[in-house]
Amino acid sequence: MLRFIFRLAAMVALSISVIMAVIDTTRSVAASSLVMTPLNASWLAVSPDTRAAFESFVRAKASPLVWDGAVAWVLAQPGLAVFAVLAFLLYAIGYRRKRRGADFAPSP
């Protein structure tokens, strides 16, 4: 059941990544140059209230250094790359490996 949840979350993250890639591709064609929208800009365009709430939560529960260092760096990256990496990690967690010898019949 837990593997299913991780694979479902990976599928949702990959879907968001593809949507962000299509938006960036459309903007790149319109601008005749490469456009890579940072995750922060996309998040502010969709829901600035949740972005501000997330920032205040991280600054209150963790250190402001966590926000200024790690979280700000992740938010500065292209959104499609962030969600693609997240989808890969979630899929890797929910991946079920095949057993060795599962393809062969048992010997008598």
Q: How far is CA 6 from CA 39, 60, 68, 81, 89, in A?
A: 22, 28, 29, 19, 9
Give ∠ CA 35-13-30 in degrees, rounded to 5. Answer: 20
pTM: 0.81
Confidence of residue 107 (pLDDT cuts 50, 70, 90): low
Q: What is the pLDDT of residues 12-44, one digit of tens each?
A: 999 999 999 999 999 999 999 999 999 999 999
Phi, psi of 77 (to 5 degrees): -80, 160
